[in-house]
Chain A
Amino acid sequence: MIVQLKDRVCENIVQAVDVGRKYSLGLCEHQALLGVNFNLKKNDFAAIAGPSGSGKSTLLNILGCLERPSNGDVLIEGISTQKFNTFELAEFRAHRLGFIFQTFNLIPTLSALENVEYPLLLLKLKAKDRRLQAEEALVKVGLEKFLKSRPNEMSGGQRQRVAIARAIVKKPVLILADEPTANLDQKTAREILDLMQRLNVEDGISVLFSSHDGEVLKRASSVTYLVDGQVWNPKERGNLLVA
Chain B
Amino acid sequence: MIASAVACIILFEGFTFNMVEGLRETTIETQTGHLQIASQSFWEKKKLRPKDNLIPNYTKILAELNRDKRIKYAAGRLEFFGLLSHGDESISTRVTTVDPFKERSRNKYFNFRKGRELSHKRPFEVAVGSGLAKKLSIETGSQVTVLTHTYDGIVNAMDFKVSGIFQTDIAEFDDNTLLMPLKTAQRLLDTKAVEQIVIGLNSSRDTKSVMESMAPKLSSLAPETDIKTWFQLATLYKQVSMFNSVQNTIIQMILMTLVLLSIANTVGMSIMERTGEIGTLRALGEQRASVVVQFLFEGFVLGTTGVLIGTLGGIGFAHFFNSLNIPIVFPGASSPIFIKIAVLFSAMAKAGISGIVITVLAALLPAYRSAKMNIVQALRHNI
- Taken residue by residue from 95 to 118, chain A's Cβ proximity to chain B (1 for < 8 Å, 0 otherwise) reads as 101010101111110000000001
Interface string of B276-289 (1 = CB under 8 A from A): 11011111111110
User: Contact at A67–B374, with CB atoms within 8 Å?
Assistant: yes
Residue B203 at the A interface, CB < 8 A? no
User: What chain A residues lie within 8 Å of B379 (beta carbons)?
Assistant: 66, 101, 105
Find chain B residues with CB under 8 A from A91 CB. 285, 287
With known contacts A67-B374, A105-B276, A105-B280, A90–B286 Cβ distance under 8 A = yes
Check B376 against A93 for contact (C-beta < 8 Å).
Answer: no
Q: Are B284 and A94 in contact (CB under 8 A)?
A: yes
Q: Does B154 contact A (CB under 8 A)?
A: no
Which of A61, A93, A107 touches B285 (beta carbons < 8 Å)?
A93
A94 touches B383 (CB 8 A): no
Contact (Cβ within 8 A) A86 B288: yes
Given contacts A61-B376, A67-B375, A105-B276, contact A93 B383 (CB under 8 A): no
Asked if B276 and A67 make an inter-chain contact with CB atoms under 8 angstroms apart, the answer reads no
Q: Does B213 sit at the interface, judged by CB under 8 A? A: no
A97 to B284, CA, bound (A): 8
A101 cross-chain contacts in B, Cβ below 8 A = 280, 379
Quote the shortest CB–CB distance from A8 to chain B (angstroms): 19
Asked if B382 is at the interface of the complex by the 8 Å CB criterion, the answer is yes
Chain A's closest residue to B285 (CB) is A94
In the bound complex, CA of A106 to CA of B281 (Å): 10
Distance A156 CA – B277 CA, assembled complex (angstroms): 18
A107 to B281, CA, bound (A): 9
Which residues from chain B contact A90 at a C-beta distance below 8 Å? 282, 285-288
Is A64 an interface residue, CB under 8 A from the partner? yes
Interface presence of A122 (CB below 8 A): yes
A39-71 vs B, Cβ < 8 Å mask (1 yes, 0 no): 000000000000000000000010010110000
Asked if A119 contacts B285 (CB within 8 A), the reply is: yes
Docked Cα-Cα span, A239 to B281, in Å, equals 40
What 1/0 flags go to B105-144 for Cβ under 8 Å of A?
A: 0000000000000000000000000000000000000000
Interface positions, chain B 280-336, Cβ under 8 Å from A, are 280-288
Look across to chain A and name the residue whose beta carbon is closest to the beta carbon of B277.
Answer: A107
CA distance A66 to B285 in the complex (A): 10
Residues in chain A near residue B288, CB distance under 8 A: 86-87, 90
B284 touches A93 (CB 8 A): yes
Instruction: Give the interface residue-count category, chain B.
Output: 10 to 19
Number of A-B contacts (CB under 8 A): 58
- Write out the residue numbers on chain B whose beta carbons fall within 8 Å of the beta carbon of A61: 376
**Is the Cβ of A108 less than 8 Å from the Cβ of B376?**
no
Q: Which residue of B lies closest to A106 (CB)?
A: B383
Interchain CA distance A92-B280 in the complex, whole Å:
15
- How many angstroms from the CA of A97 to the CA of B376 in the assembled complex? 16
Residues of A within 8 A of B284 (CB): 93-94, 99, 118-119, 122, 166
A67 in contact with B376 given A86-B288, A119-B284 (CB within 8 Å):
yes
Min distance, Cβ A152 to any Cβ of chain B, angstroms: 10
Known: A66-B375, A106-B383. A95 touches B276 (CB 8 A): no
Nearest-CB residue, chain A, relative to B287? A90
Residue of B287, B374, B375 with most partner-chain A CB within 10 A: B375
Query: Across the interface, do B285 and A103 meet the contact criterion of CB distance under 8 Å?
Result: no
Residues 353-383 (chain B) with a chain A CB within 8 angstroms: 374-376, 379, 382-383
1/0 per residue A144-171: CB within 8 Å of B?
Answer: 0000000100000000000000100000
Within 8 Å CB of B283, what residues of A? 64, 66, 93, 99, 105
Residue of chain B at shortest CB distance from A101: B379
Chain B residues whose C-beta falls within 8 Å of the C-beta of A95 in the assembled complex:
285
Using Cβ atoms and an 8 Å threshold, which residues of chain A touch B382?
A: 103
Complex-state Cα separation, A87 to B279, whole angstroms? 15
With contact pairs A66-B375, A66-B376, A90-B282 given, residues A108 and B383 touching in the complex (Cβ less than 8 Å):
yes
Distance from A76 Cβ to chain B, minimum over Cβ atoms (Å): 14
B residues near A66, Cβ cutoff 8 Å:
283, 375-376, 379
Q: When chains A and B are docked, how far (Å) is the Cα of A92 from the Cα of B281?
A: 14
Task: Give Cα A166 to B284, complex, Å.
Answer: 9
Q: Which residue of A lies closest to B276 (CB)?
A: A105
A108 to B376, CA, bound (A): 19
B383 engages A103 (CB within 8 Å): yes
Contacts beyond the supplied A66-B379, A103-B383, A107-B280: 8 A-B pairs with Cβ under 8 Å: A66-B283, A67-B375, A90-B286, A97-B285, A101-B379, A104-B383, A106-B280, A107-B383
**Which B residues are closer than 8 A to A by beta carbons?**
276-277, 279-288, 374-376, 379, 382-383
- 10 CB-based A-B contacts, threshold 8 Å: A61-B376, A87-B288, A90-B286, A93-B283, A97-B285, A104-B383, A107-B281, A119-B284, A119-B285, A122-B284
